[in-house]
Amino acid sequence: MHFSPWISQKKLEFNEESDFDLFDEIGRKQLDIKNIKDSKLVLEANDVFNKKVETGYNKKLLRKKSLISKDLENCKIRHEIEEKLIKDDLDLSGHVFKYKNFKVKFDYSANYYQKKNSVFTKIKKLKKGEEFLTKRLQDVIEELENKKQTFVQEKVNTPIWKKVAQSSNEPKKSDDHVIVKWGEISIAIGLNTRGNDYIRSKWSTKGDMWFHLDGDKSAHLIAKNADTFDFDTYSVLASMLAEYSEFGADQIPVIFTQVENLKGVKGAQGKVIYKKEKHLILPKVNWKEIISTSW
C-alpha cells in the first residue's frame, strides 16, 4: 500500500505489519472491540416507514383506509340480513325495519312480501357498495405500498444536512381573498363581495368547482383540479368553506357546480346566479392538519 502525504509528493511505503503510530498526532485512538449485532447496522425499510410515514406524510391515506374499512364492514352486514330474510327470521311487522346500522322504511300500505322485497332491494345496493369499497380499499393499500417504497428509497439516501423547503400549503392571504395550495389542488376563498368577484372572474377557469353553503350566507370557494368527486377531498373543501364562513355545525350542507354554470348579478357585487348545482352534506374535518401533512 502507498500513502501520499499532503505536504510532499514523496511516497511512503507500508505493509500490514508496519507501525501506524505516526497517526497518533492526528487523533488515532485505540478502540475496544465490541460485538455488534448485524441488526444494528441495517436500516430496516419497515422501521423507516412506520416511524416516519405513518406519523406524518401518509395521514390522509391512512385515514381514508380507516374510513373505507369501516364503511366496508357496514356493507357486509347484508350477509346476516340476507340469511335471516331467506329463513323468514326477520320481524317486518312495523313501519320501519332496523338491524344494527341497517334501516328500511316501508309504505304504511305495504304487506309482508312488499316489505321483504324492499329489504332485498336495499341489500342489492349494499352488495354493489361492498364491491366498490373493496376495490377502493385495494387501491388505497396499493398507493400506501407505493409511497412506502418511494419514501424508503429516497429517505435513506437523503443527506442529514438537507435543507427543508418551506411548505407551499401555507395560505396566501390578501385583503379580500385567500389562496391555498394543496398538492395538485389550488383553492381560492373570497373574504368579501369583492373577493368573491375576483376569484370567479379573474382567478378561476370554466372547469373549476365553485362551492357555497346550502341555504345560508357564506364565503365563496373555488377549487382547481377538483372536478372529479372525492368524498375526502370535498370534506376538506367544505370544512374550509365552513370555517371562513363562521359556520360551526359538524355536518356541512353545501352546493357546488362548475364555474361555467355561474353568472354574475349586474349591479350586485359578489352575487351570482347558478345552475346545474348539486347538493351534499359533508362532515367537518381538521382541514389544516390534513393539508399540512399531505404529500
Q: What is the pLDDT of residues 35-54, one digit of tens each?
A: 545 444 444 444 444 444 44
Sequential pLDDT tens for the chain (295 residues): 554 445 445 555 555 445 555 555 555 555 555 554 544 444 444 444 444 444 444 677 788 888 888 877 877 777 888 887 788 888 888 888 888 878 888 888 889 888 888 888 888 877 777 788 888 888 878 777 766 554 444 444 444 433 344 445 555 666 789 999 998 999 999 999 999 999 999 999 999 999 999 988 899 999 999 988 899 999 999 999 999 999 988 999 999 999 999 998 888 888 899 999 999 999 999 999 988 876 5
- Residues listed for the chain: 295
Half-sphere exposure of 278 (CA within 13 A, CB side): 12
Helices and strands (H and E) in the chain: how many? 8, 13
Whole-structure pTM value? 0.44
Q: What is the pLDDT of residues 128-183, one digit of tens each?
A: 777 888 888 888 787 777 665 544 444 444 444 333 444 455 556 667 899 999 98
Cα–Cα distance measured from residue 259 to residue 217, given in angstroms and rounded to the nearest whole number:
19
Q: What is the dihedral of CA 132, 137, 142, 147, to 10 degrees?
A: 130
